[in-house]
Amino acid sequence: MLIETERLILREMNFEDFDALYGILSDAETMRHYPAPFDKAKVKSWIDRNQRRYKEDGFGLWAVVLKKTGEVIGDCGITLQPIHGEMLPEIGYHIRRDLWRNGYGSEAALASMKYAFETLKLSAVYSYMKYTNAASYGVALKNGMRFVEEYDDPVNIKTRVYRITREEWLNRK
Ligand SMILES: CC(C)(COP(=O)(O)OP(=O)(O)OC[C@H]1O[C@@H](n2cnc3c(N)ncnc32)[C@H](O)[C@@H]1OP(=O)(O)O)[C@@H](O)C(=O)NCCC(=O)NCCS
């Protein structure tokens, strides 16, 4: 699996990406909307889990590589997530903090969305986040997702859900 955009490559993550991913996922500000930043064990299991997803589901969170430098600057991709009691395909993303607001998050998410509709032939994809995560829903809105609902959740207090359907994707072009 390899997706190329104007500035990025999305490819399967592996243990050679550990240091780059640990740098991103252990950062307190980046993980502000999560229960806690990831420690080394959590990053290892993050890589393990995504490698399992590639085999079992045919997709997962991929490493985001900046073409200009070859560095891994984040992760982005599609995973099955429990959203309001249902397992649904979700587009998720983390970008290295010093590179925020350059459009990389939305570029990677849009490429994942294209893959979801054109390769996986999914009928809809979702993004969900803690209600305070404006950057996360900013990416969803920028890429044409629409607000679906906000529900109470013990981890996030309130979880917001955004979605784009295949029909909306096709009409968007
Ligand atoms: C969410 C995240 C990946 C966005 O990455 P990014 O590369 O900075 O996003 P983009 O530059 O593509 O921003 C897209 C839009 O989102 C909105 N946005 C991004 N960051 C924002 C912020 N801090 N506050 C408010 N809106 C924001 C803007 O509308 C932006 O468009 P604009 O720059 O044209 O105004 C990044 O903020 C991140 O890694 N956050 C921490 C991890 C996380 O919470 N992931 C989501 C878990 S649910």
What pLDDT, in 10s, does the model give residues 98-152? 999 999 999 999 999 999 999 999 999 999 999 999 999 999 999 999 999 999 9
* 137 CA: nearest ligand 1 atom: 16
Is the distance from the beta carbon of residue 38 to the nearest atom of ligand 1 less than 6 Å?
Answer: no
Residue 38 has pLDDT above 70, yes or no: yes
Is the distance from the beta carbon of residue 142 to the nearest atom of ligand 1 less than 6 Å?
Answer: yes
| 2-172 is a CATH 3.40.630.30 domain | yes
Contacts of 80 (CB under 8 A, 6+ apart): 57, 87, 88, 89, 90
Output the pLDDT for position 121: 98
Output the pLDDT for position 172: 87
Separation of alpha carbons 24 and 35, rounded Å? 15
Is the distance from the beta carbon of residue 95 to the nearest atom of ligand 1 less than 6 Å?
Answer: yes
Output the pLDDT for position 173: 64
Is the distance from the beta carbon of residue 111 to the nearest atom of ligand 1 less than 6 Å?
Answer: no
Nearest residue CA, atom 12 of ligand 1? Answer: 103
What tens digit of pLDDT does each residue of 54-98 get?
A: 999 999 999 999 999 999 999 999 999 999 999 999 999 999 999
Classify residue 28 as exposed, middle or buried by CB count within 10 Å of its CB (0-12, 13-18, 19+).
exposed
Tokens matching residue 69: 């430098």
